[in-house]
Structures are given as C-alpha cells and as structure tokens.
C-alpha cells in the first residue's frame, strides 16, 4: 500500500491530468472509513481515503470523485452530491458516482439442527427453525 506521501503525489498527478488544476493539500489514508471510498473536508481541504480501496482497479475513480468535490469547492461552485455542477464534472472526468463495495460478505457462522440435519445461516432463521422443529416434535 502507498504511504500518505505517495498517495498525495498520486492525487496531485491525477488532478493535473484530469482537471488541469493542482491539488495543493494533503491526501491520507483513514482506517475508520468502512463503506465509503473517501471523504473531502471543506474545513482544511484535505482528502481521506479508505485503504481497502487502494487495491481495487476502480481506485482512480474514487480519487476522481473526491477531487471533484475539492475543485468545485475551491471554485465556489456546487460541490455536494445533489448539485448539478458536481454531477456534470464527475461525469466529464469519469469518476465513480458510488464507491465499490469492500464489505466482506462471508458468512461467519453456520448453525445446524441435529434432528433435521439442516444448516442455518443466521440467528433469526435459527430461532424460527428451532420453534418449528419443537412444534413438529411435540405433535
């Protein structure tokens, strides 16, 4: 994974290539980001990125998304997701509208019913299945 300095250099390069404008602030990794690709901070103009996005082929699209916020804010135009300026510029540079999913969707636990020999994948189904099995056994 890139260091924060290397990430900042990459963001600067992408900014010049796609926006023909410089990126004059800091880009850094933020481990606390879970489902979002990145964040733009208008207060000090830095960008945070989810380190899980770094290995994805679409990471450049995430950078373009955050740079769109950055450049529109600096030019005093609509920089929020709902603004037409944002949607237009994001489309022009080919940035991602939404971050790719990085949530690991593996099933962590399997439950089994000894009587019916069924595997149940979550607690809610386990509870419902247990009640159903008890009712069948009671008859």
Q: Tell me the catalytic residues.
A: 66
In terms of Cα–Cα distance, which of 102, 33, 97 is closest to 64? Answer: 97
Do residues 15 and 28 lie in contact, with contact meaning Cβ atoms separated by under 8 Å? no
Degrees, nearest 5: CA angle 101-41-5: 80
């Amino acid at each position: 994974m890139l260091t924060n300095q290397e990430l900042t250099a990459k963001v600067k390069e992408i900014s010049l290539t796609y926006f023909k404008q410089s990126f004059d602030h800091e880009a850094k990794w933020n481990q606390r980001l879970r489902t979002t690709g990145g964040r733009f901070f208008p207060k000090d103009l830095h960008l945070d990125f989810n380190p899980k996005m770094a290995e994805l082929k679409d990471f450049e699209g995430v950078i373009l998304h955050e740079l769109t916020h950055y450049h529109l804010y600096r030019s005093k135009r609509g920089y929020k997701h709902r603004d037409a300026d944002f949607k237009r510029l994001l489309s022009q540079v080919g940035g991602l509208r939404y971050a790719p999913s990085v949530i690991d969707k593996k099933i962590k636990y399997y439950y089994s019913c000894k009587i019916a020999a069924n595997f149940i994948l979550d607690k809610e189904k386990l509870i419902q299945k247990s009640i159903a099995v008890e009712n069948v056994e009671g008859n």
